[in-house]
Structure 1
Amino acid sequence: MAPPKLYLGRKVRALREARKATQAAFAERLGISTSYLNQIENNQRPVSAAVLLGLAEKFQIDIAGMSLGDDDRLLSALSEALVDPIFENYSANLQELKLVAQNAPGLARALISCHQAYRRNSEQLASLNNTLGSSVSTAEPTPYEEVRDFFHFVDNYVHRLDIAAEKIAAEIGIGERETGSALGDRLESRHAVRIARADAKDDAIRRFDRKSKLLLLNPYLPSATRHFQLAFQIGVLELNDEITEIVQAANFHSTEASEICKIGLYNYFAGALLLPYQAFLAEAKALRHDIGLLATQFGASLEQVAHRLSTLQRPGFKGVPVFFARIDRAGNITKRHSAAKLQFARFGGACPLWNVHQAFEAPGRLIRQLAETPDGIRYLSVATEVIKSNGGYRSTPRRYAIALGCEISYAGDFVYADGLDLTSGAAFDPIGTSCRVCERRNCDQRAIPPLKTKLTVDHHVRSALPYTIC
């Protein structure tokens, strides 16, 4: 299969304008004609390999950083919105959507926001019974939806926090001494914070008293969770101003969204502190992304390691583009991010054929899957169950399944690809994003028909589905 053509007009134009260069001067540096550069900037012609190499050589640009990752995420969200039946009189082709995502990202995001508001209002009206006079409005996105989209469109990488975390990790000796001691010493010496065990009856994981500077931790926390909470507290005490500026710049619609985002950013910092970027990236490559060995190496949990792998998007030092997700037993996706082309549905559940669901059936095992999406892109996916508990026999453990994977072209960088036949099409399971947008016609695991399709029903024939998709 021929590699996809790269239309990077917006990025090339932004690069030129950042250097305050005219098209003629910029084209001359690249060794191309001004008309060719003009066509590239207007997405009338793709960027050739020679131009990419010229950008890297003349302007020290990371070629991997010129990828269409952000456009892919925006394209996926836009495509999902436009399959809604309200757009039944309009059927956009892929090229049209790419042009909008690449050349008018602000317009694309505005359309997505309008569609989200429409869906929320529609769902509210459908559920109203005796509350027609309610003042509750869902025209605005929920706080969690806003925060989810914030991290989604920054590629789950926050450079300012990542650099700060790496600096602090070097100062306190993360990786050179016992992690808990390093974090505890930082809190005590720099902030006069005392760390103590919380009362066994206190169900809080972490409780901090600002006046007494006493940090209470649940006595039943596993070491990885304990370290994460210590790192979180360091973030609260040392990065509050930076995180406040990031949140203010995001212009959230509500105070709730701003506060939730702050928690998310503190969590991001904690993960980056425990798993410092360059050291973690080097080990991930050396251990071929074996999440079990990485967890042991850094004293972290499998989920912390898998999540961190999805954030390795630093310009000039990118890791393998992976997807990461966490689902609960009801199939709700509670965490999601994809630096790969695989994008998760914004509405509805995940594909039932995806191996992440099987993880609940095989506790303690890591399940591998070769999968292919309807667009023909193939992936390696690994999934396992994780159990979280803060107490003993009477406590109710929380069970999740996590999935981590990459496009098949990167599979050789993962130990999990060993022994799998990556060349046989029959080895790949057909999966989709979600039933509502999946275009497969013959899937017997389909929960609902795809939107914007016609159905026929034959009363004399019954197959796995009671209808046929036209």
Structure 2
Amino acid sequence: MAIGKLYIGRKVRDLRETGKMTQGQFAERIGISTSYLNQIENNQRPVSASVLLALAEKFQIDIAELSTGEGDRLLSALSEALSDPLFETYSPSLQELKLVTQNAPGLAHALITCHQAYRRNSEQLAGFNDTLGRAAAMTETTPYEEVRDFFHFVDNYIHEIDVMAEALAGELGLGEGESHAALAGYLEKRHGVRIVRGPADEDYIRRFDPESRVLMMNPYAPAASRDFQIALQVAQLHAGRQVDAIAAAAGFRTDEAYEICRIGLHNYFAGALLLPYQKFLKAAMELRHDLELLAMRFNASLEQVCHRLSTLQRPGHKGVPIFFARIDRAGNITKRHSAARLQFARFGAACPLWNVHQAFEMPGRIIRQLAETPDGVRYLSLATQITKGGGGFRSAHPRYAIALGCEISYAGSFVYADGLDLGNRAGFDLIGISCRICERTKCAQRAVPPFKRKLIVDHDVRGPVPYKLAD
């Protein structure tokens, strides 16, 4: 296997710090000098093939794990930003982009942030937004976007929170089967919190009164949602200081972003508590990622199962690298994460040829699709519709489609690959990421032309779209 130059200093440092080793101890473990390790961790020198093999042997990790991850996500985001017509005179090569993301990730993040501000500015100007002249409001990343990017670029895995939740799950005997009694008992004995049924005519799922130490639950909430909200209350009381420290260390620019991140971290703890890492990873492998069986075994919803699968990125014990997204009926991606090479577009709608859109047409079914992206990578993609909420006839029931998938090389780990001809390239649907950055020249579903491609209009010939793309 040919191994190119890899600058993976952050990953090596994270691996060392996870093992609580000094540079000297870690260097001795893999047979290199401390000075060489220091250069690797600071991205001053690439890792050699012998060092990669030593890391794989000593720490039981796949070499592929070290060459993927944040670099892929950052590379995708930077490439999308530079495809904007704003940079029409500059078309960086893939090698140039890799050098920037590997050696100067901070610069790449800064450029992406600048591009986000430019796009918001342009969109508001085009719409004659009444905030014209309020420069900060027009150019700043919204708190929600800032938090979304925080989770995106930490690989959707928070080690300290995940390990803490797993330890508590072991103490309470959580992992498979019914969790409600154990969670309720823990809250009452350890924190003096009593759970009561609330009135059914109010718009809430959970309401906590810190003075009376009463946690009021909506009696009509689905069992999976109820247990998750109780686990979230456990997160606030058990891991509050750790959550606050992580959110503070992220360096958000606004209090709103800080508070939104705290919500996200509490949710992360709740998911990791109900679906503890090692037990869930083992079950996922045993059941070959059968989503419905996993949901039944852990008394969880399909969305909770899919979301948890997207967080299985613990160094040395990673699950299958998957992509996960939740999309509403308007095509908005409301949740997204990818540990695979597939990276979701940050702007614009998702490709209409992706099977996630079909899920709304076939509720109750898990739809399979073999798909190939413009870079030639092939995937197994799964999609299904979910309905949120509870209550009766007059209650709101928001509907979403969730998508989950992996590269074809991992498809054998999924029961959904059975019966599919994975070796027949003609059986793969040609999908894109977003029309604005998709280079496919023959697509009947194209909504807008791609950036940086000259259009050829022939008034005598009409194809699927009224123009052709110049080579």
TM-score by length of 1: 0.92
CA contact (8 A) 1:359 1:365 kept: yes
2:195 alignment partner, SS class:
strand
Whether the 8 Å contact between 2:220 and 2:391 is mirrored in structure 1 is: yes
Q: Report 1:262-281 matches (<5 A).
A: 262-281=262-281
- Cα deviation per residue 1:245-266 (whole Å; 9 max; x = unaligned)? 0011001011111111111111
Shift of the 81–361 alpha-carbon distance from structure 1 to 2, 3 Å rule, reads same
C-alpha displacement of 1:375: 0.4
Q: Deviation per CA, 1:382-436, whole angstroms, max 9, x where unpaired? A: 1000011222111221100001000000000000000000000111101111001
What's 2:396 paired with? 396
Within 1, Cα distance between the matches of 2:298 and 2:244?
29
Q: Secondary structure at the match of 1:9?
A: coil
Deviation for aligned residue 1:192: 1.1
| Paired residues for 1:23-102 under 5 Å | 29=31, 47-48=48-49, 50-57=50-57, 63-102=63-102
1:363 corresponds to: 363
Alpha-carbon contact 1:232-1:266 (below 8 Å) kept: yes
Asked if structure 1 preserves the Cα contact closer than 8 Å seen for 2:177 and 2:297, the reply is no
- Are the structure 2 counterparts of residues 177 and 330 from structure 1 closer, same or farther at C-alpha, using a change threshold of 3 Å? closer
TM-score calculated relative to the size of structure 2: 0.92
The structure-2 alpha-carbon separation of the partners of 1:27 and 1:234, relative to structure 1 and needing over 3 Å to count, comes to closer
- Note the residue ranges of structure 2 that are not aligned, 5 or more in a row: none
Aligned residue in 2 for 1:221: 221
1:206 & 1:144 partners in 2: Cα distance? 22
User: Which structure 2 residues correspond to residues 415-430 of structure 1 after superposition, within 5 A?
Assistant: 415-430=415-430
Aligned CA distance change for structure 1 residues 19 and 175 (closer, same or farther; 3 Å): closer
2:313 is the counterpart of 1:313: yes
1:344 corresponds in structure 2 to: 344
For 1:447 and 1:425, locate their aligned partners in 2 and report how far apart those are by CA, in whole Å: 25
Instruction: Supply the AA of the counterpart residue of 2:297.
Output: Q
| Residues 110, 141 of structure 1: alpha-carbon distance in 2 compared, 3 angstrom cutoff | same
Amino acid at match of 2:6: L
For the structure 1 residues 228 and 6, does the alpha-carbon distance in structure 2 shift closer, same or farther, using more than 3 Å as the test?
farther
CA contact (8 A) 1:30 1:55 kept: no
Following superposition, the deviation at residue 139 of structure 1 comes to 1.7
> What is the correspondence of 1:432-451 to structure 2 with a 5 Å cutoff?
432-451=432-451
* Cα drift, residue 437 of structure 1: 0.5
What amino acid sits opposite 2:270 in the alignment? A
Answer whether contact 2:131 2:137 (CA < 8 A) is retained. no
Distance 1:335 1:375 in 2: 24
CA contact (8 A) 2:437 2:451 kept: yes
Correspondences of 1:25-424 after superposition (within 5 Å): 29=31, 47-48=48-49, 50-57=50-57, 63-128=63-128, 132=132, 137-175=137-175, 178-424=178-424
Aligned mates of 1:14, 1:166 — CA distance in 2? 24
**Cα distance, 1:175 vs structure 2:** 3.4
- Secondary structure of the 2:410 match is helix
Deviation at 1:200, TM superposition (A): 1.1
CA shift digits 1:321-359 (9 cap, x unpaired): 000000000000000000101000011111100000000
Aligned to 1:7: 5
Distance 1:292 1:435 in 2: 33
How many angstroms does 1:63 deviate by?
3.6
Q: Contact 1:56–1:62 at 8 Å: present in 2 too? A: yes
Question: What's the secondary structure of 2:264's corresponding residue?
Answer: helix
Match for residue 469 of structure 1?
469
How many corresponding residue pairs?
459
Deviations along 1:105-148, one digit per CA (max 9) or x if unpaired, are 11111111111111111112222266545576222100111011
Q: Which runs of 5+ in 1 are unaligned?
A: none
Q: C-alpha distance in 1, partners of 2:206/2:2? A: 48
Q: Does the 8 Å contact 1:197/1:219 carry over to 2?
A: yes
Contact conserved, 2:176 with 2:299, CA < 8 A, in 1?
no
Amino acid at match of 2:199: D
* Contact 1:284-1:294 within 8 A present in 2 as well: yes
SS of the equivalent of 2:124 reads helix
Assess, with a 3 A threshold, how the Cα gap between structure 1 residues 28 and 255 changes in structure 2: closer, same or farther: closer
The answer on whether the counterparts of 1:62 and 1:315 sit within 8 Å (CA) in structure 2 is: no
Shift of 1:237: 0.9
**What is the identity, as a one-letter code, of the residue corresponding to 1:284?**
A
User: 1:47-106 CA distances to partner (integer Å, 9 max, x unpaired)?
Assistant: 43x442223346776645423211000000000000001101100111110111111111
Rounded Cα–Cα distance in structure 1 between residues aligned with 2:379 and 2:315:
24
Identity %: 64
Gap change, CA 1:250 and 1:467, over 3 Å in 2: same
Whether the 8 Å contact between 1:383 and 1:402 is mirrored in structure 2 is yes
CA RMSD of aligned residues (A): 2.5
Q: 1:203 corresponds to which letter in structure 2?
A: D
Per-residue deviation, residues 224-276 of structure 1 (Å, max 9, x unmatched): 00010000000011111100000110010111111111111111111000000
Amino acid at match of 1:311: T
- Judging changes above 3 Å, is the alpha-carbon distance between structure 1 residues 417 and 130 closer, same or farther for their aligned structure 2 residues? closer
Q: Decide whether the 8 Å contact of 1:64 with 1:316 is kept in 2.
A: no
Q: Does the 8 A contact of 1:387 with 1:397 survive in 2?
A: yes
Change over 3 Å in CA distance of 1:341–1:183 after alignment to 2: same
SS in 2 for 1:368: strand
Does structure 2 conserve the Cα–Cα contact (< 8 Å) formed by 1:147 and 1:257? yes
CA distance in 2, matches of 1:178, 1:420: 35
Deviations 1:159-191 (A, max 9, x none): 011011101111111136631101111111111
Partner of 2:394, secondary structure, is: coil
